[in-house]
Amino acid sequence: MAARADIPAVVELIESAYRGDASRAGWTTEADLLDGQRTDPEGVAAVLDAEHGRLLLAERDGALVACCQLEHRGDHAYFGMFAVRPARQGGGLGKAVMAEAERFARAEWGAREMRMTVIRQRDDLIAWYERRGYERTGEVTPFPYGDERFGIPRRADLAFELLVKPLA
């Protein structure tokens, strides 16, 4: 579990996995869709401060290599802020972090399903989640255009789709 002292490292990890040229070393980059930030210290602190939230960390040799946010929302858990260091992507670390998040949500909270939102234009990422049992719901919410906390869109058609996986 993350602590306040981990905030700078978590922000750096998330930014490295999704934004800018460094993110292109992995396959999860959003650099072709969005400029600007993916998160900031205040966003990570809000996750840490959430009464029903957790921020799970994975370290190798003392360095942060992956993270994810979990939020208990009644009968389900929300999965977000998922990042794997670009140089470590493709080796099974993300799959292991996701499995641990699912185990935690089921065992600690009794969650019956995991939910997440993914930019619907991310076909490769959605396919990765589908291979892990997540299903597209067709439920779409608009991208928060004008709120630079979520990035600066490079196209006008971005939206999030809800993906769901039963945990029972």
Task: Sketch out the chain's domains with CATH numbers.
Answer: 4-166 (3.40.630.30)
In whole angstroms, what is the distance from residue 126 CA to residue 86 CA?
Answer: 18
pTM to 2 decimal places: 0.92
The Cα-based distances of 134 to 42, 71, 79, 116 in angstroms read: 29, 17, 12, 9
Phi, psi dihedral angles at 54 (to 5 degrees): -140, 150
C-beta separation of 97 from 56 below 8 A = yes
**Residues 6 or more apart from 88 whose CB is under 8 A from it?**
60, 65, 66
Q: Which residue has the higher pLDDT, 23 or 81?
A: 81
* pLDDT-based confidence at residue 168 (cuts at 50, 70, 90): confident
The pLDDT assigned to 75 comes to 93
For the cut 90, the answer to whether the pLDDT of residue 45 exceeds it is: yes
Q: What is the mean pLDDT of residues 125-132?
A: 96
Closest CA to 99 of 64, 142, 60, 56: 56
